[in-house]
Structure 1
């Protein structure tokens, strides 16, 4: 039987419901702490909780928290928020992109991964097998020594390049996936290097049906998207609301191009809401209510105008596809 692993326990995939597939809820990334980048620190429990409550009031049921160990997770805070709101949270084991690894390890992390100075030193000096064991532990025992287990494993690469340490983490995550059956999520910087990541995953024997590639809308290239989709992988359009990159019309066009090609069962949608200025209750931003409250109705209208069944597509992107994507399949 397949299941989805949440902070509140393993559930049947049909219980996941309306889901944002890539968000950050409470986190203090050490890299941005050291840079003094306050906008990138989601560090107020009550304000994060208020935005999650907005999402819930509009019918939201689950959120995938894509915050890995190198992005300043607050495991206990997110678990408490899940318990108090009833929103189901899927946690993340693994790693993010390499430029974050210059940050110094906090005292609490020394207790988890050892006496290293930075994330980069830890990853460089630790064998792939031991990195794999670390990821497996976070899936099967708990994140950062807690009892709250990860429901997916993650890796990331930089803009238009994959450095050796990033390849090392890809291979560690791939091997952890084989051991745990947890689904794999990829961070692609500005939507680049997915095809190169795929080559590494394939060399590790990973079935791409169990992989989702993030930030595909940061590289709005329909041909590129189609090449990724042909592998069977999920494509995550998780920059909704970020008009500084592209208008929503561009994202919708890319999504409907994939639908036209028959890939509607491989599309995920979310906001990657990782700044105070994106959150309503931190800094008057669009907030977690925006996608479910404003973008979904717009998408339905545009899809219907082009001859699609907009409501059926929304059901796929936010309910049926996440239920398949994030399921452990023993």
Structure 2
């Protein structure tokens, strides 16, 4: 279903098929189009009106294009509202490239099937089973429940338990890394208690560090420990992906994010930094987070430039780094 090159150029899997990586333009690398808490779609007080959802997302994606955005990565994974047919229609209607994701996590958000022991005595799902599941979504297409496979996932995303990686989380991370090795797509991880430990788990699978983006590194605990700089030194991408979140106890604010970006660039790691807003286009079963998808490009980047970021570095953060990560190898 997919190919790593088109006419000799590296490609990226989008919901409408592979596109040349050079055509991605400005990328929002960690967002959520439709985010549904598992089970909320069955709640009596939750509307899942597809026409209404489409209209809302189409308007927000049009605004994203108006802000200069070209590609959006939906990082919800398999079971949090991902709707491949909806995303195909949105991409056709708006002209925005949509890269959808496979993967899942953390353990507490998995369905019972994935927590059912597969061995006697009981052990968590093994990494190879998760790898097989995720790999099929890249090579054969993403599952549309009870119907078919459509489109190919362009990235594997997984998250560890906030209090610390569990054995099941470790299987997820190792399975994600094996899928990346087998298919050439990258891995996006959200760390639990220790970003460097969680990064080491995927690197232990012999996945090159530049195929990994570590999200959530604008958390206060990570910034205080100097973790973003250490992740960059190891060769992985640093995602400061809560841009626009200025009043949260767990994350630094945009002024501190800007200072961190400039620090990383000054240290020679501008080629390892990515920015995103973790915005939610439509939320079901949890509170809205109605940040514009174009906030980084339209609002935060001008602020960064005013703080001294060069135009070349701005392009690197918004265009070059996401392109290099997403291009299949």
* TM-score bracket for the superposition, by shorter chain length: 0.7 to 0.9
Call closer, same or farther: CA 1:259–1:13 in 2, change over 3 Å.
Answer: same
Name the TM-score, length of structure 1 as normaliser. Answer: 0.84
Q: Report the number of matched residues.
A: 303
Residue 323 (structure 1) shift = 0.8
Indicate the residue corresponding to 1:206 in structure 2. 207
Equivalent residues of 1:26, 1:77 under 8 A apart: no
Equivalent residues of 2:30, 2:75 under 8 A apart: yes
The answer on 1:5 being equivalent to 2:13 is yes
Equivalent residues of 1:26, 1:78 under 8 A apart: no
Call closer, same or farther: CA 1:36–1:125 in 2, change over 3 Å.
Answer: farther
Equivalent residues of 2:105, 2:172 under 8 A apart: no
Residue 159 (structure 1) shift = 1.6
Partner secondary structure for residue 280 of structure 2 = coil
Equivalent residues of 1:154, 1:185 under 8 A apart: yes
Equivalent residues of 2:115, 2:125 under 8 A apart: no
Equivalent residue in structure 1 for 2:232, among 229, 235, 238: 229
Distance 1:285 1:24 in 2: 11
Call closer, same or farther: CA 1:37–1:233 in 2, change over 3 Å.
Answer: farther
Residue 221 (structure 1) shift = 3.1
Residue 199 (structure 1) shift = 2.0
Residue 300 (structure 1) shift = 1.0
Residue 129 (structure 1) shift = 2.2
Distance 2:181 2:30 in 1: 22
Indicate the residue corresponding to 1:297 in structure 2. 302
Equivalent residues of 1:220, 1:251 under 8 A apart: no
Higher helix content, 1 or 2 = 1
Equivalent residues of 1:29, 1:73 under 8 A apart: no
> Which stretches in structure 2 are left out of the alignment for 5+ residues?
none
Residue 76 (structure 1) shift = 1.4
Distance 1:49 1:127 in 2: 39
Partner secondary structure for residue 100 of structure 2 = strand
User: Cα RMSD (Å) of the superposition?
Assistant: 2.7
Distance 2:23 2:228 in 1: 29
Call closer, same or farther: CA 1:220–1:38 in 2, change over 3 Å.
Answer: farther
Indicate the residue corresponding to 1:156 in structure 2. 159
Call closer, same or farther: CA 1:36–1:215 in 2, change over 3 Å.
Answer: farther
Q: Greater shift after overlay, 129-138 or 24-33?
A: 24-33
Residue 128 (structure 1) shift = 2.8
